[in-house]
A = this chain, B = another copy of it.
Amino acid sequence: MALVVQKYGGTSVGTVERIKAVAEKVGRFHDDGNQVIVTVSAMSGETNRLLGLSNAISSSPAARELDVVVSTGEQVTIGLLVMALIELGYDARSYTGGQVKIITDSAHGKARIQRIEDKNLRNELDAGRIVVVAGFQGVDESGNITTLGRGGSDTTAVALAAALKADECQIYTDVDGVYTTDPRVVDCAKRLDKITFEEMLEMASLGSKVLQIRAVEFAGKFGVPLRVLSSFKEGPGTLITCEEDDSNMERPLISGIAFNRDEAKLTLRGVPDKPGVASHILGPVGDANIEVDMIVQNIGGNSTNDFTFTVHRNEYHKAIEVLTKVAKDVGAAELVSDDKIAKVSVVGVGMRSHAGVASTMFRSLADESINIQMISTSEIKISVVIEEKYLELAVRALHTAFDLDVHEDKD
């Protein structure tokens, strides 16, 4: 008998019919002799409806009260799902975050889980019940309702799995697993059977929006095996684990090609080469709450540097504003900026022990006459910035170059 935590997102519980379908899926797992804890999101559209009401009251609604309002979305879903389970003849019971208790800090809207009391849930499981827990929410030590931030239901699932030492945490979504790259860009993208937490983190942060990054970090930290599956079709999904799976000799160098078109690039040319100049540039950017992703510094001419970094495209104009002032302060020659860029990365734990990944990557792009504007590397990934219009071409070329194309017929 295994203990499994399952998480169903907003689309999976978006209608009464889908909630009934989830109840059947959960019930079959229970029939197979598993102990099942389910965590659910709000029905799709509901969180936005509640945010809309709140924003109609105030352009910046009080954070504590916003949590009181939006946490009702998940509370409705847990009640409805348990009704559906009971209707099918299962013994089941719903729990809000506060009832569990999922104790968080008091950072309303982006609270972090501190601990989970497992006594209530254990008792329910021991009594043979299916337990349905509201995702995305908790209470602080004073009993105030908190939320973990959008998409936080994944985190709830992983935290429950960690607290109860579950055998597996299953995240049901509208895709049937993690792919080598976005199938909308590369037809022959392949579902991965397995991927490591590190790889998943690199894939997720680069735009494969299957899982919340925080949930993956959390799962990695507590060693909770995480599986991504489809709510709508059967299949094994993708298992995310700590193991690098050395048993598999055939393991490819590269697990996937991630990409991101949400970034913009800013370059300060001719920055005088003095100690502390990097912090003089990035300090004001950080002060303006602009997050910086890639940072590259090249030596220019005449003892000056070229300093380049990327920001989210939403903050492009704000960043230009800040940099225009900074450019004068540090005595830079000019500010050059570009929001028509894309970032493409090859990711894989296999590259740790293999040279040659970078050269294969750069050669493939050169073969397609794609110019590389920035390069950044980590232990398990290499990222490049290219002109946005070449994005699809680059991803397809790399997918083929690293032998990721699936050759069987896809179903």
Binding site for B on A (CB under 8 A): 16, 19-20, 50, 53-54, 56-58, 61-62, 64-69, 71-72, 75-76, 78-80, 82-84, 86-87, 93-94, 96, 98-99, 143-145
Q: Which residues of B sit under 8 angstroms from A20, Cβ to Cβ?
A: 57
Q: Which residues of B sit under 8 angstroms from A80, Cβ to Cβ?
A: 53-54, 57, 65, 69
How far, in Å, is A95 (CB) from chain B's closest CB?
9
Q: Which residues of B sit under 8 angstroms from A54, Cβ to Cβ?
A: 79-80, 83
Could you tell me if B62 and A68 are in contact, using CB atoms closer than 8 angstroms?
no
How many angstroms between the C-alpha atoms of A53 and B78 in the bound complex? 12
How far, in Å, is A349 (CB) from chain B's closest CB?
44
How far, in Å, is A63 (CB) from chain B's closest CB?
10
Q: Which residues of B sit under 8 angstroms from A143, Cβ to Cβ?
A: 99
- The one of B71, B84, B94 that contacts A58, using a Cβ cutoff of 8 Å: B84
Could you tell me if B50 and A65 are in contact, using CB atoms closer than 8 angstroms?
no
Could you tell me if B76 and A62 are in contact, using CB atoms closer than 8 angstroms?
no
Copies of chain A in the complex: 2
Q: Which residues of B sit under 8 angstroms from A93, Cβ to Cβ?
A: 64
How far, in Å, is A156 (CB) from chain B's closest CB?
17
Could you tell me if B53 and A66 are in contact, using CB atoms closer than 8 angstroms?
no
Could you tell me if B76 and A61 are in contact, using CB atoms closer than 8 angstroms?
no
How far, in Å, is A268 (CB) from chain B's closest CB?
42
Q: Which residues of B sit under 8 angstroms from A82, Cβ to Cβ?
A: 62, 65, 68
* Chain B residue at minimum C-beta to C-beta distance from A78: B68
How many angstroms between the C-alpha atoms of A79 and B62 in the bound complex? 9
* Top 10 closest pairs, chain A to chain B, by CB: A69-B79, A68-B79, A72-B72, A16-B56, A65-B79, A58-B87, A62-B86, A61-B83, A57-B83, A65-B82
Q: Which residues of B sit under 8 angstroms from A144, Cβ to Cβ?
A: 99
Sampled A-B contacts (15; CB under 8 Å) = A16-B56, A50-B76, A54-B79, A58-B83, A58-B84, A58-B87, A61-B83, A64-B93, A66-B83, A68-B78, A68-B82, A69-B79, A72-B72, A75-B75, A98-B98
Q: Which residues of B sit under 8 angstroms from A96, Cβ to Cβ?
A: 68, 145
How many angstroms between the C-alpha atoms of A68 and B82 in the bound complex? 10
Q: Which residues of B sit under 8 angstroms from A87, Cβ to Cβ?
A: 57-58
How many angstroms between the C-alpha atoms of A66 and B84 in the bound complex? 11
Known: A50-B76, A72-B72. A83 touches B62 (CB 8 A): yes
* Chain B residue at minimum C-beta to C-beta distance from A88: B58
How far, in Å, is A260 (CB) from chain B's closest CB?
35
